[in-house]
Amino acid sequence: MGKARWTRWDGGHGRIDAYSLELGTLVTATVRRRPGDSWAIEINRIPIGDYPSKDAALLEADGRIRHYAREFIEDWALWTIATDERFAKWRAR
């Protein structure tokens, strides 16, 4: 898998057609073709659903990942500020 970019992988004489995205160790997403030409999304090994086209699946996966990343960054920023304040009080003792 490629880091911080969608990477295409295939195999099995054309039976496997998939794309993966890895953001550090926090987010791993896979979009893969299923039998019958639907496309399945998994994010952190959790099935998200099936979509009628590769483009629809990649667009949905991308949107969800952006949402998860935004939530993480906001929470991480709050946690960092709170942690820094606690350590500053502890060091001042």
Tens-digit pLDDT profile for residues 27-62:
999 999 998 889 999 999 999 999 999 999 999 999
DSSP codes joined into one string, 27-91: EEEEEEE-TTS-EEEEETTEEEEEESSHHHHHHHHHHHHHHHHHHHHHHHHHHHHHHHHHHHHHH
**Band of the pLDDT at 64, cuts 50, 70, 90?**
very high
Domain ranges across the chain: 7-92
Q: What is the pLDDT of residue 46?
A: 97
Mean pLDDT for the chain overall: 88
pLDDT band at 13 (very low <50, low <70, confident <90, very high): low
